[in-house]
Chains A and B, each alone.
Chain A
Amino acid sequence: DQQVKQNSPSLSVQEGRISILNCDYTNSMFDYFLWYKKYPAEGPTFLISISSIKDKNEDGRFTVFLNKSAKHLSLHIVPSQPGDSAVYFCAAIWNTGNQFYFGTGTSLTVIP
């Protein structure tokens, strides 16, 4: 039962352009969402989060958008840089929950 889904296994983008990574969820109880970035041989590192009371959160080149009615969130990276090449996981949790539900990840390649 995959409650968080990332339907694009991979994405390639030219350096300087926008990268858009998508994530869908099925459980309407989720009220906190995060994006993690993972390089090979390293653990996932936290990138950005958003609460369900917001529809947008921005941190430098990274912006996360949340559409609760569509149960959809997206991560925008502008401008994309080669160092952004990694696997990106979205994750969700509800306020009193103790487990994060992760998507299967999207491998982003930024081409110089």
Chain B
Amino acid sequence: ETGVTQSPTHLIKTRGQQVTLRCSSQSGHNTVSWYQQALGQGPQFIFQYYREEENGRGNFPPRFSGLQFPNYSSELNVNALELDDSALYLCASSRGRAGANVLTFGAGSRLTVL
């Protein structure tokens, strides 16, 4: 059983640039969620994708956007990067989109914005 894989593992960008992070979900999982974990904080929900459509969004501005593909993999795009976007971005997949469906996380993509 293949777990959740994320790429790249680390990247450095400058303010105003754009970034794309990628995630392959665990086999058998049809839902992908993205979380942002700032230093010293717990993961914060960005959004969830189910059947290639956004299925809920947390308190993040529209410059955070995403995609889900037919094979359930996903991308997170962030435009006009700000210093506060520096964080660990975690992708998680699950068998369903709501309630008591355990999230399986990838190791994350560490973004540094200078």
Which listed residue (B40, B42, B102) contacts A34, Cβ 8 A? Answer: B102
Which residues of the partner chain B approach A34 to less than 8 Å between Cβ atoms? 102
Give the A-B pair count, Cβ closer than 8 A.
Answer: 63
Q: How far is the CB of B77 from chain A (nearest CB, A)?
A: 19
**Given A43-B106, A46-B104, A97–B99 Cβ distance below 8 Å?**
yes
Secondary structure call for the B interface: loop
* Of A12-20, A58-66, A88-96, the one with at least 4 CB within 8 A of chain B: A88-96
Per-residue CB proximity of B9-26 to A under 8 Å, as 1/0? 000000000000000000
B102/A49 in contact, CB under 8 A = yes
* Of B43-51, B62-70, B79-87, the one with at least 4 CB within 8 A of chain A: B43-51
Shortest Cβ distance from A45 into B: residue? B105
How many B residues touch A, CB cutoff 8 Å? 26
**In the complex the two chains form, what is the Cα distance from A13 to B42 in whole Å?**
22
List 21 A-B residue pairs with CB atoms under 8 Å apart, sorted by A's residue number. A32-B99, A34-B102, A36-B105, A43-B107, A44-B43, A44-B90, A44-B105, A45-B105, A51-B100, A97-B99, A98-B33, A98-B55, A98-B97, A98-B98, A99-B45, A99-B56, A100-B43, A102-B35, A102-B43, A102-B44, A104-B41
Which residues of A does B touch, CB under 8 Å?
4, 6, 32, 34, 36, 41-46, 49, 51, 89, 91, 93-105
